[in-house]
Structure 1
Amino acid sequence: MDERIQQIEQVAILGAGLLGTSVGLGLKAAGYAGRVVGVARSEETLAAAKQRGAIDHGTTDVGEAVKASQLAIVAVPLGQFDRMFQQIAEHEHDGLIITDVGSTKQSVIASAREHLKHPGRFVGAHPMAGSEQQGPEGAQADLCRGKPCIITPGNDTDEDALATVEAMWKSLGMTLIRMSAHEHDVQTATISHLPHAMAVLLVLVAAERGGWDVASTGFRDTTRLASSNPPMRADILMANREQVIEALNTLGHRLDRFIDVLDRGDRGGLLAMLEHARQVRDDWVAHRDDIE
């Protein structure tokens, strides 16, 4: 593990759910020798995270965790970021570095700029790792390993804070990608938020048209994301709704063309679309060691 991280005496994980607990487990597995403090609203969640070995101490008091920490990782649902940043600001000190796991970045950075005393010490991050599981019980020490982590520094981002945050995510085995917050939201709308919306719509179509008796692994795998936490996903889709709508509009144009070739009985046109999609996906998978 990077010496920069080992010099940190205490890390606060603000949100001991699936991803927050997985980060704690990952830090421990990577050899982090400092103290990890978890924050959650319920004692039951904290007890579960501690039982898993992800945290050394749990508290419902954000101030208790933040004031003695050098690094804070915000891992709460997007709808709670404003309140969390407000609570952090009450106990924020010059030596505190803050990062997050939020699925959108423009909204999170705007909230950090509004509420934090030292927004330059905040480094936006989005580890592209997750599961349809919920809570600390579903956490995994290797959840982040081999996955991309998008870092979205701004012009005023503190260089020391940036180096520390990048070292932390690297210690979990992640591949770092830097981009602007806007570019992040455009790209994740396409490859993360749109697939979730499509999984939901597929389930709703099946609920309307039927077919459950013959549905098998293909339908199960295609609709896996529909089992994700609904309040959390609603927050994500609403926070990035402008880019999600753009992605849905693009999908709509593609869907119109798909319907057209079927309606005209154009097997050649249909085959060309299927072959192109297969080739694009196969090329992507071939260059991604983390895709199984």
Structure 2
Amino acid sequence: MIPLIGRLYREHGVVPSILGRRLLGRSPAEILKAHRFTRKVGDQVLSPEKTLAVLEGFARIVPGPASIDIARLVTEFDARGGSYEDGSLDSFLRDELAEVMSAEPSSPTDVVLYGFGRIGRLVARLLIAHQGSGDGLRLRAVVLRRGSSDDLLKRAELLKRDSVHGAFAGTVEVDEENETILANGTLIQVIYANDPAEIDYTAYDIHDAIVVDNTGRWRDEEGLSQHLRSTGVSRVLLTAPGKGGIKNIVFGVNSDDITPDDAIVSAASCTTNAITPVLAAIDEAYGVRRGHVETVHSFTNDQNLIDNFHS
């Protein structure tokens, strides 16, 4: 399965999953664990042979870019009494995936990380891992304030190794002369600046970029609007709860509230993202009048107990 999963993603933008567990970049053991997970929500473990048949079906019918849950497709196909031997699977997949059969790959969108702390580095890992053929989101640059003479090397080392999230899955190379980091083939320009508004991103061939501000330094519209005054930026995403009129968005709950006119949005806090999806489901099913929340929070970079940039 593994080469087929990679090829479907690189060439067609197809991201297969099993009940929300992505198969992209997984080891054989991890793929088998994803199959065993299906027993927790059904009577049987999903058969790897059926998964392979569906993946081979994807390769034959070539759907457009999409995230596709194989477990749901197999469950529906089996419920209809379908056979994996007579070619009816391809017809079934075409019908079920009709919405994405003619979908065109999206044009690439440049992404700039403003700040490179733990959140910035985790976002970088995700963007690099899912960059594929280059369509969709492309990590192009990281903006920093220089911390030391060997700043770039330290930043690269922190990207390579994380005491909580483990080692980076791949290679990281540093070009000190050109101030770039090459991570799994993704070339990241490192830009040193103190003022967001002073940067000309187009000088690095970056255009209409989304700036992901993970510094926490600015959380209101006035402060974050500095990014929009720089050349080459079209939108700003804050990785902390926004203040004032900035929309705090939890994906899948109120993400439909984003409009084309919203140039600045917040991804809300980690606590909000942990609570809100469950709370939204309870509210939809039963209604919620009021509530009280207790959190047990892991330590953060404010408590200098784990990897951090220091002297």
Task: Please tell me the TM-score bracket, short chain as reference.
Answer: 0.3 to 0.5
TM-score (norm 2): 0.32
TM-score (norm 1): 0.33
Which of the pair is proportionally richer in strand?
2
Which of the pair is proportionally richer in helix?
1
